[in-house]
Structure 1
Amino acid sequence: MSEVFKSIKDVEIHDVKWIDARLSLQESDAGRKNFEEGHIKGALYWDLEDDLSDMTKNTGRHPLPDKQTLTELFRKSGLELDDRILIYDDGGSPFAARAWWILQYGGFKNSFIISEGFRALTEMGVPISGKAEVPNRSSVDPVWDETIFAPREFIEQTVEGKTGNVLLDARSAERYRGEVEPIDPIAGHIPGALNFDWERLKKDGSFNLDADVGQQLSQVVQHDDEVVVYCGSGVTAAPLFAMLKQNGYNNVKLYVGSYSDWISREVIEVEKG
């Protein structure tokens, strides 16, 4: 098993770099305001849309920034490949996992998600600050891990049965079946995909690190399966990706464009039910 999530009970806070990824989808600037009011001392703030997405692209609702842009993010954040990096949001949210996946993609393999979130960290007595620090710029060269990235073309090949991968949809069962669709213009799922609602990964507002989550995952996908996870816009699929890795799934990719990218092309094929 790969350790991806860390409980605050097991966190060593010395010689680490912190990333604050808090966000509210209902109030876009709430995360940054919360950061300015108080954050883990020394933490940097990474915003979902400003830092972890390129909203000028048309490849889904939260497209991945290009490598040059991500490299600049890593460098201005003062990161080095061997840094120990801890990422938090409000707990049980997908935003720290999105930041973590991008770090993994860039080769920062010593990075982890705090499963409980910011409030629990403060209750444990981790020092907080209202002052935003400017780190020393690094000259890091990312080592891109293409094995965890699935482009649109790979998904097309998977639907055609050419890759042997299993598609796993992280949205709710109702959205997966096409019974409701509150965001995207077309309801349904990518043909052939299975479903595991990412909300099932949580327990009492935190990510559930107990063995029963692994047991539930194994009822849908097997450990030797090659899995591609997706959701609506590539955000809530990130914690599903992370939990699969946490539970010993070695061959997992993320389709960042996800369903919103899949249905954006002229030729669209979806399934319902």
Structure 2
Amino acid sequence: MSEVFKSIKNMDISNAKWIDTRFSLQDSESGRKKFEEGHSNGAIYWHLENDLSDMTKKTGRHPLPDKETLTSLFRKSGLDLDDRILIYDDGGSPFAARAWWILQYGGFQNSFIVTEGFEELAAHGVPVSRNAVMPEQSNVVPVWDDAIFASCEFVEMTVEGKTGNVLLDARSAERYRGEVEPIDPIAGRIPGALNFDWEQLKKDGSFNLHVEVGEQLSRVVKKDEEVVVYCGSGVTAAPLFAMLKQNGYEHVKLYVGSFSDWISREIVEVEKG
């Protein structure tokens, strides 16, 4: 079983590098404002839209930056591959998981999602500062793990039954069934996909690391299956990817473009019901 999530209650924070990823989909600058008001001492801030997405691309609502852009982000953040990296948000949010997935994609194997949000970290005595840090730039060369990335073409082959993978939709059951669609112009799901609402990963506002979540996951997909997770724009699927890895699933990919990319193709295939 891979350890993906860490709790401040049993964590050594010495010599760790912190990344603050607080964000709100309703107010894109609220996270940065919170960071300026106080953050874990020495933390840098990664913005969902400015750092963890390339909003100029047309491949979904939160497209993945290219490898050159991500390499630049890693370097200006002062990161090296063997760094111990702790990532937090407000707790129970998908943004730290998005950053964690990108770090895993880049080969930063010693990175973790902190289960507690910033306020709880501060309450547990993690040193807090309002001072912005300018890390010394690194010369890191990422070791890309393309095995955890699913392209639209790979998903198309999966729908055609050519990859042996299982598609797993992280959105709510209502959106999965196509009964409601508050964001995207077309309702429904990628054909053949199963459903596991990412909100089920949480309990009392934090990610639930107890065995019951693993049992719930195993009732939908088996550990020996190869899984591709997606959501609306690739953000809320990241904690589902992380929780699958936490529970011992070895073969998991993230379709970063997700449903918003899928329905942008010339030929749109969706299922409902």
Whether these two folds match at TM > 0.5 is: yes
Once the 2 structures are TM-superposed, how far is the Cα of residue 68 of structure 1 from its aligned partner?
0.2
Length-normalised TM-score, structure 1: 1.00
Per the alignment, residue 83 of structure 1 pairs with 83
| Separation of aligned partners in 1, 2:220 and 2:15 | 39
| Separation of aligned partners in 2, 1:12 and 1:61 | 36
Is residue 2:201 matched to residue 1:201?
A: yes
Q: Which amino acid aligns with 1:66?
A: D
Per the alignment, residue 143 of structure 1 pairs with 143
| Separation of aligned partners in 1, 2:40 and 2:102 | 21
SS at match of 1:155: helix
Per the alignment, residue 35 of structure 1 pairs with 35
Per the alignment, residue 224 of structure 2 pairs with 224
Q: Which amino acid aligns with 2:268?
A: I
Is residue 2:178 matched to residue 1:178?
A: yes
Once the 2 structures are TM-superposed, how far is the Cα of residue 8 of structure 1 from its aligned partner?
1.2
Q: Give CA-to-partner distance per residue, 1:163-190, whole Å, 9 cap, x none.
A: 0000000000000000000000000000
Is residue 2:77 matched to residue 1:48?
A: no
Is residue 2:116 matched to residue 1:116?
A: yes
In the TM superposition, 1:89-104 aligns within 5 A as: 89-104=89-104
Once the 2 structures are TM-superposed, how far is the Cα of residue 120 of structure 1 from its aligned partner?
1.1
Once the 2 structures are TM-superposed, how far is the Cα of residue 38 of structure 1 from its aligned partner?
0.2
Q: Give CA-to-partner distance per residue, 1:60-112, whole Å, 9 cap, x none.
A: 00000000000000000000000000000000000000000000000000000
Q: Which amino acid aligns with 1:13?
A: I
Asked if structure 2 preserves the Cα contact closer than 8 Å seen for 1:116 and 1:205, the reply is: no
SS at match of 1:215: helix
| Separation of aligned partners in 2, 1:69 and 1:210 | 37
| Separation of aligned partners in 1, 2:194 and 2:151 | 19
Once the 2 structures are TM-superposed, how far is the Cα of residue 11 of structure 1 from its aligned partner?
1.4
Once the 2 structures are TM-superposed, how far is the Cα of residue 218 of structure 1 from its aligned partner?
0.3
Once the 2 structures are TM-superposed, how far is the Cα of residue 10 of structure 1 from its aligned partner?
1.4
| Separation of aligned partners in 1, 2:84 and 2:161 | 39
In the TM superposition, 1:61-72 aligns within 5 A as: 61-72=61-72
SS at match of 1:228: strand
Asked if structure 2 preserves the Cα contact closer than 8 Å seen for 1:78 and 1:135, the reply is: yes
Q: Give CA-to-partner distance per residue, 1:155-212, whole Å, 9 cap, x none.
A: 0000000000000000000000000000000000000000000000000110000000
Percent of aligned positions with the same letter in both sequences?
A: 78
SS at match of 1:260: helix
Farther-moved stretch of structure 1 (161-170 vs 19-28): 19-28
Per the alignment, residue 4 of structure 1 pairs with 4
SS at match of 2:270: coil
| Separation of aligned partners in 2, 1:116 and 1:216 | 22
| Separation of aligned partners in 2, 1:107 and 1:117 | 25
